[in-house]
Amino acid sequence: MRLYNNIATAIVTGWQAVVVEQQTPAWVFKNTTRQHRSWGSRDRKLFGKGLYDGLRWLRKYADACQIDLPSDRSGLEKILFSWAVDQGLKLCPDQTLGEAEIEKIKTRLQQAEQSNALAASIPDWLEQQGRTAYTTDWPNECAAFNQQALLIIRANSLKTTPKKLKTTLWNEAQIETEVLADYPEALLVHSVKNIAQLKAFQNGLFEIQDGNSQKIGHWIDPQKNQILIDACAGAGGKSLHLGCLMENTGQILALDQQPDKLERLQIRAERNGVNNIQTIPQVTDDFYDQWAAKADTVLIDAPCSGLGVLRRHPEHKWTMNPKRIAALCEVQKQLLEKNALLVKPEGQLVYVTCSIFPNENQQQISAFLASDFGRDFTLAQETVLLTHQTGHDGFYMAKMIRKS
């Protein structure tokens, strides 16, 4: 296959937008393909592969052409050659690369396998952090990070079951799915299409949600008629699941500092037929006074490094760093301290991140329990879900119970 100039240029521009300007790959892909309406499906597929391959293997490709991790366009253009050689793509005539240089790139790509940091294409600080936390398991987790993420959907239990949904999707669009054991509402989608255009989706029969993200709802185990506060609701994937598990009883208060995300949650809730969610876009001190010690469950799905979901967001390897993570840890600490006050006696405080590292998780919980804010809580359970062990996204979950 030949790599034509327009696609090559778009790939480099996409890398620059993500790595330098810190835009999301999904937005870059959507925006770029919208600008190139003349592209066929083959062109779009090659562009998407180049965009995500480069983000996954950026360090390895940079090493293969003997440059440092790039912060400018010229470096990214050199990395394009490494990617093209690795993929066996033929370059256009004005993208010249001699046979000798091609062989050197191939040799350096092979030599990269001798170092886990290069083979997994991760920065040195992340390699050190991973080795410290997971020792011999770390290379397996790195390998899992660099695989394509599975497409998992959650059957809306208010409207259907996984088996019924499986039949519905096949009848509507011949979409092949597989019911997953140990994930009560999950379906693995084998034939990937634009499923958001399906009538089944528009009618609220399912949502796209990773398997381990679904596991969090069952781990919380909400009961009917309870009061639940989702302190960092975002667009509400977990709130929607909890609303289904509560069978539209009780009350879920969804908080977030970004009103546009809560607006999306309201749209999703209406489509799903979930009517026990109330969004709170402006969280004031009065809210904390009103709901102090009243919630059966407070969920803190805390802002984090995202280093457990590198399959979906490989850009985090290059946009995150220890300084940014330290700032996130401070935010996590404040969220725990502030929202713990909302939990009633014998209620539960649930802390979740999509990071798998102790500084954002176990250490954060230990410090909270040792503080004045956490002295009334006991740790009931904590767990880490690793990608190479589960096949799904990496998460940490801790459940704390407030003493009576």
What is the distance between the alpha carbons of residues 216 and 214, in angstroms, rounded to a whole number?
5
Output the CA torsion sign for 6, 7, 13, 16: negative
Q: Give CA separation, 401 vs 187, 238, 349, 382, in Å.
A: 32, 20, 6, 12
**pTM across the whole model:** 0.94
- pLDDT of the residue at 130: 97
Q: What angle do CA 49, 12, 144 make, to 5 degrees?
A: 40
Residue 266 neighbours by CB distance under 10 Å: 15
- pLDDT of the residue at 196: 87
CATH number of 212-402: 3.40.50.150
What architecture does CATH give domain 152-208?
2-Layer Sandwich (3.30)
Residue 381 CA to chain centroid, in angstroms? 23
Per-residue pLDDT of the chain (404 residues), as tens digits, is: 788 889 999 999 999 999 999 999 999 999 999 999 999 999 999 999 999 999 999 999 999 989 988 778 889 988 998 999 999 888 765 556 667 788 899 999 999 999 999 999 999 999 999 999 999 999 999 999 999 899 999 999 999 999 999 999 999 999 999 999 899 999 999 977 788 899 999 999 999 999 999 999 999 999 999 999 999 999 999 999 999 999 999 999 999 989 999 999 999 999 999 999 999 988 889 999 999 999 999 999 999 999 999 999 999 999 999 999 999 999 999 999 999 999 999 999 999 999 999 999 999 999 999 999 999 999 999 999 999 999 999 999 999 999 98
Residue 227 CA to chain centroid, in angstroms? 27
- pLDDT of the residue at 194: 82
> What is the location of CATH 3.30.70.1170 in the chain?
152-208
What is the distance between the alpha carbons of residues 353 and 398, in angstroms, rounded to a whole number?
9
Task: Say if CB 62 and CB 79 are below 8 A apart.
Answer: yes
- pLDDT of the residue at 14: 96
> What is the location of CATH 3.40.50.150 in the chain?
212-402
